[in-house]
Amino acid sequence: MDAFLETSMTASKTVLIILSVTIIVRCIRSMLSERYESEVWAYIRMGREMLPVNHWENIIGRSRGADIRVNEPGVGRVHAVLKRSDRGIWTIYDVFSKGGVWVNGTKVGSRGINLETGDVINLAGTCVRFQDITTEKREKLESARTSAGKRVSPFMTLFELTVFQLFLLLQHAISAHANHLPNIVLGFVLLIILEWTCYNAMRLMSRSGFEAETLAFYLTTLGMSVTASSTPEDMFKQILLTIASVLLFLLCGAWLRNLKRTAMMRDPIAVLALLLLAVNVLASDAVFGARNWLELGGYSFQPSELVKVAYIYVGASTLDRLYRKRNLFGFIAFSAVCVMALALIGDFGMALVFFVSFLVISFMRSGSIATVFLAVTGAGLAGFLAISVKPYIAQRFASWGHVWEDVYGAGFQQTRAMSAAASGGLFGKGAGSGWLKDIFAANTDMVFAVICEEQGLIIAICMVLAVLTLAFFAVRSARHGRSAYYSIAACAAMSMLMVQMGLNVFGSLDILPFTGVTFPFVSRGGSSLLSCWMLLAFVKGADTRRDASFVVRSVRKIEEYHVGYDAETDDYDYDSDGTEEDEP
Amino acid sequence: MKKITNRAVSVLLIAVLIIAGMVVYVLRYVDDGRDWALYFARANSGSTGVMTDRNGALLAAFDATTNAYSDDELTRISCYHVTGDYWGRTGTGALTCFWDEMHDFSLLTGTTRSESVNLWLNIDAELNKVAYQALNGRKGAVLLCDYRTGELLCMVSGPSIDPLDADAEPPEGAYINRCLSAAFTPGSVFKLITAAAAIENIPDIYDRTFYCEGVYEIAGVPIKCSGVHYTQTFEQALANSCNVAFAQIAVMLGQDTMVEYVKKYGFLDSQSLDGIPTAAGSYPQEFVGDPELGWSGIGQSTDLVCPYSMLRFVSAVGNGGKLCEPKLINDGKAAKTVSFMKADTAEQLASMMSYNVAAHYGGESNFPGLKLCAKTGTAELGDGTSHAWFAGFLQDEEHPYAFVVMIEQGGGGLSAAGSLANTLLQAVVRR
């Protein structure tokens, strides 16, 4: 390598690190530091008191945790659920209260009764009056709400990402074999076009929140870089998969906009997921110990990755349904079948990912620590059984923490991952200049180490921070979610991605047993990339900053549709309104 | 919603665990990153290395796919403790200790790539072979250096192994380099240190006589001598290796002075051979009383000396009091020279050691053609066995070599170690 190329490599390394840190910091500032004002959407008048209604889904009850606390004798801890549709229609549901709920003297059933300003709600003898806010107030509220992208321009962040990608491409241009160069250039150029198309589409829909997508594109870029290093011949395949993933992300997001439709489709999707797993158990070939792959037109395909998305979709729930159903039996059964199917397939890493998501969802839904303990104990026993039945799992546990004692056997991958990761130092060897890329499964199970080696520890940490930022954002947004469904789904999706990342990173570094799951967005593997982008749609669903997310309908727009509303069914012809909002 | 969103915080538990895991990784990286990185560095950096002896004979060479040693089995075995092996089983081997020279690592930049590194040693593999054959399977240490330049020409430790024969059961203690990494009871070679202290601290030492009738009692404790030497001068006492005389001298000097000299000559410290740390010796430093002091003055008691420290001592005596620190690697740089002892002391010690050889060690008949100055040691171990020591130098402008030979439980100093030294010295002067 002559001196000029060496200098460019060193310079580009510095630029990449600075850009990485800037991108992450900008996204953190934009997603995690903006203030959310408390919003009041309606009032409950109780005697002289005016109780504010702060959410779109509210619990009315005596409980300290109730959103609207009515501390009167006869009122249950969780007595009723008050819910606002995105059309601005309020409905009250009785959630199996002992004392019952009446509106203007009519008994409220499980289907709920719509409310108008002035309606008298009788909660087991305690009468309160419902009062919606006026249209002017609603408009004021809407304009006061924090909007995304005001303090930190999403355009600049994406622009920095583009520069990052160009410098990364420069490094590959220096190190790659001439045969593969066109493929690599094409991959990166298409990725840049894809992200800007996506950005412009958001602008066209007058949406301003693009941080989650930027972080996902940042991670995808690092994944592309690993592919360019390890299997450059797959570059074209990988970019096609990325395009498909982003399209699916948009599709999922659009689907999630309509909560009613989303909720209605839960059961069919659950059945579909189980069918997919059944096909997987029966028909797939054993690859590398796990029978988790289906060959589909040249793409090997992991059905369990799609089931992950379905799992979150089915697991999340709206508040009224949550308290009307009262138990988790259906969900527990569904989870048990999923985890057992994965265990049958032999993919214990994935089974663990599902299990942790199950814990998160069931805890968020029930709030019961006892349930969580019970589940953990059960899983512990099952895990013990798995270790004693499956010898290769036991072997992984046996070598855990002792990988350096068996460098050519059980510790083969981990020791090489650790060695390569350390040899990159903080600044890395430059894209395509490492040696780990040529080791088997480097671009899936050991991507963290490949990035450490080629881009250095700082960028590798940025990669982890990107996922953590999305998770913190999901938790922060959960508080302001339009529905418990979106809040639960976003949190569960991010726990899934975090657990996956944890298992991948720490498994390859011998801090946890090696399980062979993928690093979200970065590991090569089409189905994994597809599912990660689809899970990201759930995060977008919880983002209620003003005009931030394309998954959340703009409130102002909704009001214009008030005409033609069918109050009896609380329903619209949804299929006809999907496109209008896309115009600025 | 409040209930749900409060529970959402539980998700952050996972994030906290991940952050904790990253902290663990970063701490481990700071601690062990160097070992991790260098473990596969040689195989993956694309660099190559060649290690040769002073005459250019190949000792070890590697590239991405091969780990080679010398083709000659005897060279491999006799130089095993010099080269070490690619697994680092002997910690003081050049392959292990000078790994850094082949690949470096820093926490900031990771491994630095090096294309090709040649390590040129001062060791003469032919001399090592001679010494190893002369050891003849016994446990021991043989060191020889040029005291004018510090070049270390011979370093052999027995027993040794063939690094190519990785699966064979190694003899006990084969991985220890006895020249550098162990300290032994010195016995009478230690009298050189007592003598040096006496020359500098007892003004009339040459005028005194010492009477030996085979045993001498200090405070009722008998100190036995190897013979009965009757009246003798200081010079004769060293040549006789008279325990009675040197126990008296040690008591005369006092423990403080003895400790001062042992320290001054570096016997209590770990020395460094081109960065390879050596074993520290020992000498009674807490108050022990005259009988024990007497024993310590003749190299018994709790005295322990690393052969390498003894080489530095005799090397300094040979070089007129100035020590050229021995050098294993020929990097073109001059050896560090330190003022080790007074020139006058060195000169007197040298003449006494020359007298030893001429008068008592069989002179020309045992060491034909050698202008040898030396001192024997037969270190009693209390179980009837003894370490055989022979240390000294050639007072010869053309052959300025200092040496130490130590054979563990080898018997008499002159008969065992002396004859080995002669074999080695004959080889080095004919070279």
- What is the amino acid identity at position B213? E
Q: Is the same domain home to A186 and A323?
A: yes
Q: Does B206 lie at the interface with A, CB-CB under 8 angstroms?
A: no
DSSP A91-150: EEEE-S-SS-EEETTEEP-TT-EEE-TT-EEEETTEEEEEEEPPHHHHHHHHHHS-BTTS
Q: Give yes or no: residues A269 and A237 share one domain.
A: yes
Q: Are A361 and A239 in a shared domain?
A: yes
Q: Do A238 and A275 have their domain in common?
A: yes
pLDDT at A298: 56
Q: A173: which 2 tokens? A: 């241009």
Same-domain check for residues A486 and A438 = yes
Domain-embedded: residue B35: yes
Contacts of A509 in chain B (CB under 8 A): 25, 28
Which range has the top average pLDDT, A143-147, A158-162, A571-575, B174-178? A158-162
Task: Report yes or no on B133 lying in a domain.
Answer: no
Residues counted in chain A = 584
Q: How many domains does chain A have?
A: 2
Residue B156 lies in a domain: no
**Hey, what are B110's tokens?**
């990771």
> Using one digit for the tens of pLDDT, what is the confidence trace for A185-211?
999 999 999 999 999 998 888 888 899
A-chain residue closest to B13, CA distance = A495
> What does each of the 431 residues of chain B score in pLDDT, given as a tens digit?
788 888 888 899 999 999 999 999 999 999 999 888 888 876 676 677 889 999 999 999 887 677 889 999 999 999 999 998 877 778 788 887 776 556 678 888 888 766 677 889 999 999 999 999 999 999 999 999 999 999 999 999 989 999 888 667 888 888 899 999 999 999 999 999 999 999 999 999 999 999 999 999 998 889 999 889 999 999 999 999 999 999 999 999 999 999 999 999 999 999 999 989 999 999 999 999 999 999 999 999 999 999 999 999 999 999 999 999 999 999 888 889 999 999 999 999 999 999 999 999 998 899 999 999 999 999 998 888 999 999 999 999 999 999 999 999 998 889 999 999 999 999 999 88
- What digits encode the pLDDT tens for the residues A291-334? 555 655 556 677 888 899 999 999 888 888 877 765 677 888 88
Q: Write out the two tokens for B132.
A: 């190893």
Contact A425 B7 (CB under 8 A): no
Interatomic CA distance for residues B130 and B121, integer angstroms: 18
Say yes or no for a CB contact (<8 Å) between B6 and A65.
yes
* Amino acid found at A478: A
Structure-model confidence comparison of residues A136 and B54, the more confident one = B54
* DSSP assigned state of B213: S
Contacts of B6 in chain A (CB under 8 A): 65
Contact with chain A for residue B10, Cβ under 8 A: yes
Nearest CA to B370 out of B344, B398, B348, B346 is that of B398
Does the CB of B27 have a partner CB in chain A at under 8 Å? no
Say whether pLDDT at A412 is over 80. Answer: yes
Nearest CB neighbour to B18, from listed A428, A464, A509? A464
The rounded distance, in Å, linking the Cα atoms of B116 and A420 is 20
Q: How far apart are CA A423 and CA B36, in angstroms?
A: 8
Contacts with A371 from chain B: Cβ below 8 Å: none
Residue A574 domain flag: no
Q: How many domains does chain B have?
A: 2
Residue A284 confidence class, pLDDT cut points 50, 70, 90: low
Q: What residues contact residue B273 under an 8 Å CB cut-off, 6+ apart?
A: B152, B180, B308, B326, B327, B328
Pairwise CB contact (< 8 Å): B18 & A363: no
The verdict on a CB contact (< 8 Å) between B29 and A457 is yes
- The yes-or-no verdict on residue A575 having pLDDT over 70 is no
Percent of chain A, pLDDT > 90?
A: 38
Closest partner residue to A509 (CB to CB) among B25, B34, B45 is: B25
pLDDT over 50 at A583, yes or no = no
Is the Cβ pair A487, B4 closer than 8 Å? yes
For residue range B267-294, what is the model confidence (pLDDT) as tens digits? 999 999 998 999 999 999 999 999 999 9
- pLDDT at A565 exceeding the cut of 60: no
Asked if A116 and A151 sit in the same domain, the reply is no
Give the three-class secondary structure for B329.
Answer: strand
pLDDT at A394 over 70: yes
The pLDDT assigned to B7 comes to 87
> Token match 């059944």: residue?
A278
What range defines the domain where residue A381 resides?
Answer: 3-33+145-541
Whether B109 and A67 lie within 8 Å, measured CB to CB: no
- Going by C-beta distance under 8 Å and a sequence separation of 6 or more, which residues neighbour residue A105? A122
Range from A25-39, A486-500, B25-39, B328-342 carrying the lowest mean pLDDT: A25-39
Handedness of CA B37, B43, B45, B49 (dihedral sign): positive
Determine, for residues B24 and A488 on separate chains, whether the beta-carbon distance falls below 8 Å: no
Residue A579 in any domain: the answer is no
Last residue of a domain, one of A541, A556, A572: A541
Closest CA to A532 of A64, A166, A141, A216: A216
Question: B7 in contact with A at a CB cutoff of 8 Å?
Answer: yes
CATH number at residue A90: 2.60.200.20
With 50 as the cut, is the pLDDT of residue A135 above it? yes
Domain enclosing residue B261, as ranges: 187-430
Asked if residue A264 belongs to a domain, the reply is: yes
Three-state secondary structure of A402-419: CHHHCCCCCCHHHHHHHH
Residues on chain B touching A423 (C-beta within 8 angstroms): 36-37, 40-41, 44, 105, 110-111
Residues constituting chain B: 431
* A307 vs A139, higher pLDDT: A307
Strands A285-287 and A290-296: antiparallel
How far CA B238 is from CA of B260, B298, B376, B415, in Å, comes to 21, 10, 10, 18
B16 touches chain A (CB under 8 A): no
Instruction: Answer whether B5 sits within 8 Å of A478, measured CB to CB.
Output: yes
Residue A566's pLDDT band (cuts 50, 70, 90):
very low
pLDDT of residue A372: 78
**Which chain A positions have a beta carbon within 8 Å of B34's beta carbon?**
422
Measured between alpha carbons, how far is B267 from B284 in angstroms, rounded to an integer?
12
Instruction: Judge whether A552 lies within some domain.
Output: no
For residue B64, what is the nearest residue in chain A, using CA coordinates?
A435
- A372 with A468, same domain: the answer is yes
Per-residue model confidence (pLDDT) at position A329: 79
Q: Which CATH number covers residue B425?
A: 3.40.710.10
Question: Are A379 and A505 part of one and the same domain?
Answer: yes
- Is B29 within 8 Å of A422 when comparing Cβ atoms? yes
CB contact under 8 A, B105 and A488: no
**CB of B25 within 8 Å of any CB in chain A?**
yes
Using an 8 Å CB-CB cutoff, list chain B residues near A55.
Answer: 1-2
Q: Say which amino acid occupies A29.
A: R
A150 and A74 in a common domain: no
User: Which of B7, B21, B41 is facing A423, going by the closest CB pair?
Assistant: B41
A367:B8 CB<8 A: no
Contacts of A6 in chain B (CB under 8 A): none
What pTM was computed for the model? 0.71
Whether B11 sits inside 8 A of A487 (CB atoms) is no
B2 at the A interface (CB within 8 A)?
yes
Is the model's pLDDT at A11 over the cut of 60? yes
> Which residues contact residue A439 at a Cβ distance below 8 angstroms, ignoring those fewer than 6 apart?
A413, A416, A420, A446
Question: Within an 8 Å CB–CB cutoff, is residue B3 touching chain A?
Answer: yes
Å between B66 CA and nearest CA of chain A: 16
Cα separations in angstroms, A462 against A191, A277, A469, A506: 20, 34, 10, 16
Candidate from B7, B10, B40 with C-beta closest to A419:
B40
Q: Per-residue pLDDT tens for B17-46? A: 999 999 999 999 999 998 888 888 766 766
When pLDDT is cut at 50, 70 and 90, the band that residue A160 belongs to is very high
User: Tens digits of per-residue pLDDT, A53-102?
Assistant: 988 889 899 888 888 888 888 888 888 999 888 778 899 998 878 888 99
Q: What average pLDDT score do residues A413-425 get?
A: 91
Judgement on whether residues A24 and A111 belong to the same structural domain of the protein:
no
B318 in any annotated domain: yes
In a shared domain, residues A191 and A118: no
Angle between the N-to-C axes of helices A3-32 and A211-230, in degrees from 0 to 180, rounded to the nearest 10 = 150
- Compare all CA atoms of chain B with the CA of A484 and give the residue at the minimum distance: B1
Average of per-residue pLDDT across A370-390 = 75
- Interface predicted TM-score (ipTM): 0.90
Choose, out of A175, A419, A487, A511, the residue to mutate when testing the contact with B (most B CBs < 10 Å): A419
- Please check whether residue A578 lies inside any domain of the structure: no
Q: Least CB-CB distance to A511: which of B25, B37, B107?
A: B25
pLDDT of residue B355: 95
